[in-house]
Amino acid sequence: MLTAPARPLRLGSLEVATPVVLAPMAGVTNAAFRQLCAEQGAGLYVCEMITSRGIVEGDPISLRMLSFAEAETVRSVQLYGIDPVYIGKAVRILCDEYGVGHVDLNFGCPVPKITRKGGGAALPWKATLLGEILTEAVSAAKPYDVPVTMKTRKGIDDDHLTYLDAGRIAQDAGCAAIALHGRTAAQHYSGTADWDSIATLKQAVDIPVLGNGDIWEASDAIAMVEKTGVDGVVVGRGCLGRPWLFRDLAAAFAGDDAIALPTLGEVAGWMRRHVELLAADMGEERGCIEFRKHVAWYLKGFRAGGRMRHALATISSLADLDTLLADLDHDEPYPVGELGTPRGRQGSPKRVALPDGWLSSREVTRIDPAAEDATSGG
How many folded domains does the chain comprise? Answer: 2
Local structure of 295: helix, strand or coil: helix
In a domain, 84, yes or no: yes
- Asked if residue 217 has pLDDT above 70, the reply is yes
Would you list which residues are annotated within the binding site?
24-26, 78, 151, 181, 236-237
- If you average pLDDT over residues 185-198, what whole number do you get? 96
Do residues 99 and 202 share a domain?
yes
Tell me, what's the pLDDT at 55? 96
31-51 as b/e: b if 16+ CB within 10 A: bbbbbbbbbbbbbbbbbbbbb
Do residues 239 and 283 share a domain?
no
Q: What is the pLDDT of residues 284-297, one digit of tens each?
A: 999 999 999 999 99
Would you list which residues are annotated within the binding site for FMN?
24-26, 78, 151, 181, 236-237
- Cα–Cα distance, 107 to 121 (Å, whole number): 5
- If you average pLDDT over residues 260-277, what whole number do you get? 97
Do residues 306 and 233 share a domain?
no
Tell me, what's the pLDDT at 314? 96
- Asked if residue 70 has pLDDT above 90, the reply is no
Q: What is the pLDDT of residues 85-99, one digit of tens each?
A: 999 999 999 999 999
- If you average pLDDT over residues 300-325, what whole number do you get? 95
- Asked if residue 4 has pLDDT above 70, the reply is no
- Asked if residue 107 has pLDDT above 70, the reply is yes
Do residues 212 and 143 share a domain?
yes
Tell me, what's the pLDDT at 14? 97
- If you average pLDDT over residues 237-252, what whole number do you get? 96
- Cα–Cα distance, 45 to 80 (Å, whole number): 17
Do residues 244 and 312 share a domain?
no
In a domain, 351, yes or no: no
Tell me, what's the pLDDT at 371? 67
Q: Among 231-240, 319-328, 357-366, which stretch is predicted with the lowest mean pLDDT? A: 357-366
- Asked if residue 130 has pLDDT above 60, the reply is yes
Domain around 67:
9-259
- Asked if residue 180 has pLDDT above 90, the reply is yes
Q: What is the pLDDT of residues 11-54, one digit of tens each?
A: 999 999 999 999 999 899 999 999 999 999 889 999 999 999 99
- Asked if residue 376 has pLDDT above 60, the reply is no
The active-site residue out of 37, 47, 95, 109 is 109
Do residues 194 and 294 share a domain?
no
Length of the chain counted residue by residue: 378
In a domain, 357, yes or no: no
Do residues 179 and 139 share a domain?
yes
Do residues 187 and 298 share a domain?
no
Beta partners for 76? 46, 102
Catalytic, 109? Answer yes
